[in-house]
Amino acid sequence: MSAVIQKIDHLGIAVKSIEAALPYYEKTLGMKCGHVEEVPSQKVRTAFFACGEVHLELLEPTDPESPIAKFLETRGEGIHHIAFATSDITGQLAQAKASGARLLHEVPIDGAGGKLVAFLHPKSSFGVLTEFCQPKSEADSSGCCCKH
């Protein structure tokens, strides 16, 4: 049985400063920031906003060598990635690899919001950086063999 995408989990948006971007999302759009957290494995700070079942994730670099800092240097602020929720991140990666997609992560890593995450290279996904994500609690209960 092949792995199945459940829904769009979130859209990642690269920003130079979460503090500078917050007024737009809170005052202009009327959204409420759910939480801000640092993700050391990705060298970013994140801020999440709920929009129905989909979240917006603002990504601010915490290190000049982080992937977000490099993205901002070359492309500027804007949409960085789309994240798909899956109940089997390991299976999703295996399916993507078997279909010829280039994986940026062979094994899921710790992400924001208590999730395991892994990315596909945009050159193998028509220019869109694609993320798979799964709550760690689901991975633990499913017997996932991922390194946490």
Q: How many CB atoms lie within 10 A of CB 34?
A: 12
What's phi and psi for 107, nearest 5 deg?
-125, 135
Q: What is the per-residue pLDDT for 74?
A: 96
Give the residue from 117, 147, 107, 98 showing the smallest Cα distance to 12. Answer: 117
What pLDDT is stored for residue 137 in this prediction?
Answer: 86
Q: In the prediction, which pLDDT does 142 show?
A: 42
Model confidence, pTM: 0.88
- The pLDDT value recorded for residue 4 is 85
pLDDT of residue 147: 30
Q: What is the pLDDT of residue 148?
A: 26
pLDDT at 138: 77
Beta bridge partners of 33: 49
50 in Cβ contact with 125 (< 8 Å): no
Q: Give per-10-residue mean pLDDT for the chain (148 aa).
A: 85 98 96 94 95 96 96 97 96 96 95 94 95 87 36
Domains of the chain (ranges; CATH) run 5-141 (3.10.180.10)
Question: Are 79 and 11 contacting, i.e. CB atoms less than 8 angstroms apart?
Answer: yes
